[in-house]
Amino acid sequence: MAETRYMTINMGPQHPSTHGVLRLVLELDGEVVVKAIPHVGHLHRGVEKLSEVKTYHQVIPLTDRLDYTNGIGNNLGYVLTVEKLLGIEAPKRAQYIRVAVAELQRLAAHLIWLATHALDIGAMTVLFYCFRERESILRIIEEVSGGRLTPTYFRMGGLAKDIPEGFEERVRSFLEDFPRRINEYETLLTKNVIWMRRTKGVGILTAEEAINYGASGPTLRGSGVKWDVRKRFPYSSYDEFDFEIPIGEVGDVYDRYMVRLEEMRQSVRIIQQAVDTLPDGPIMADDPRVVLPPKDDVQRNIDALIRQFKIVSEGFEPPKGEVFMSVEAPKGELGFYIVSDGSNHPYRIKIRTPSFINLSILPKMIEGKLIADVVAAIGSIDIVLGEVDR
């Protein structure tokens, strides 16, 4: 009998369907994947190490660059963790604005996912549609924060600045249009025979496996586990909003697709509620240790000037201790673990990024399947390598 020899091929790190610099070493028996070994770290920039020599405020821009499709969401996770460490809370108005902007960012992140996922599988039209809508979201985010992809919009205790005039109207007019657009994407994909054949029954992950392997976000919910940080450990007033957690049944690529589409509809509901019930009031907590004084005060009052100077140059010193806090990012549970030694630098920051651990499940999903399914599976777990490698 002839000897069986496997062919080893490198997929990535420059392969377009690996969504960044992911390298997969695939052992193939014909077209069947026998073994898959992911190699990550090509984008490792040492964010955790860098954070140790920065003040707490200086870390916020670093978090923008973790999952670069979700700058706002990363800011939110980090800022909430430091607020927990300090024992302060942002005022209601700031919390609602945070929710509204974070959900807009979630829509933008899901749109990128849908665009690239569909493109990987061969449906090109979806890409153009998704990027069109994403552009209107990024414009709103730019108006609010000044940055399209790197907003650095939140601060410990609140927001960098209040929302601009006309924000609500622009968001409303976007929301009026957007649900129709989601239906449009669905007409292209949901009942499309090619799409269904490429995604149904592919990359299956059962609920038990998903929990044991540490999956989170739509990858976990696609497997039928109703688990969302926004509902289980509500933060930033999420408990005051009315929304559903969509789940899948089988845990295949198609289910994860359906979950994310439904999530977009739920995000629209949340933003609608946030904009409609936006409370008045301050946007910064009243805590002179942490919060910069208003600009007017700085120019007229010497004490405010000194305070501003101290906070900007030296930062603030939170109490000694350690906290963990996580938020529901578009990719899953984004957690920050901060150890404070009482100085103005964080002693240690560990960032629990959803993509990192979701990617570790990939071999489980694709071993024994066809090589074409690898592309579908990578797209369905929605990884961003900036977040995997940090």
Q: Give the total of residues touching another protein (CB under 8 A).
A: 39
Of the candidate residues 16, 41, 281, 288, the single one contacting another protein (CB under 8 A): 41
Does 201 bind another protein (CB under 8 A)? Our answer is no
Examine residue 25 and tell whether it contacts another protein (CB under 8 A). no
- From the CB of 182, what's the least distance to another protein, in Å? 29
Q: Name the nearest CA neighbour of 111 among 61, 170, 174.
A: 174
Within a 13 Å sphere around the CA of 350, how many CA atoms are in the beta-carbon half?
7
224 belongs to the binding site for another protein (CB under 8 A) = no
Dist CA 212 CA 210 (whole Å): 6
User: Pick from 15, 34, 35, 48: which binds another protein (CB under 8 A)?
Assistant: 48
Interface with another protein (CB under 8 A), residue from 1, 2, 53, 193: 53
40 binds another protein (CB under 8 A): yes
- Structure token pair of residue 210: 């998903």
Candidates 204, 225, 271, 378: give the one binding another protein (CB under 8 A).
Answer: 225
Q: Can residue 344 be called a binding residue for another protein (CB under 8 A)?
A: no
Stretch touching another protein by CB under 8 A, among 183-191, 193-201, 204-212, 279-287: 204-212
Contact 329/354 with Cβ under 8 angstroms?
Answer: yes
- Beta carbons within 10 angstroms of residue 7's beta carbon: 10
Nearer to another protein, 174 or 227 (CB): 227
Strand partners, 323: 338
- When binding is defined by CB under 8 A, the residue of 28, 50, 250, 298 that contacts another protein is 50
The CA–CA distances, whole Å, from 190 to 56, 228, 235 equal 45, 24, 33
Instruction: Check whether the bond before 13 is cis (ω within 30° of 0).
Output: yes
Residue 322 in contact with another protein, rule: CB under 8 A: yes
CB of 162 to another protein, least distance (A): 29
129 binds another protein (CB under 8 A): no
Q: Verify binding: residue 323, another protein, rule CB under 8 A.
A: yes
3-state DSSP of 309-373: HHHHHHCCCCCCEEEEEEEEECCEEEEEEEEECCCCCCCEEEEECHHHHHHCCHHHHHCCCEHHH
* Number of Cβ within a 10 Å radius of residue 291: 19
Q: Kindly list the residues in this chain that would bind another protein in the complex (CB under 8 A).
A: 40-41, 44, 46, 48-50, 52-53, 84-85, 87, 209, 211-214, 225, 227, 232-233, 321-324, 326, 333, 335, 337, 339, 347-348, 350, 352, 356-357, 360, 389-390
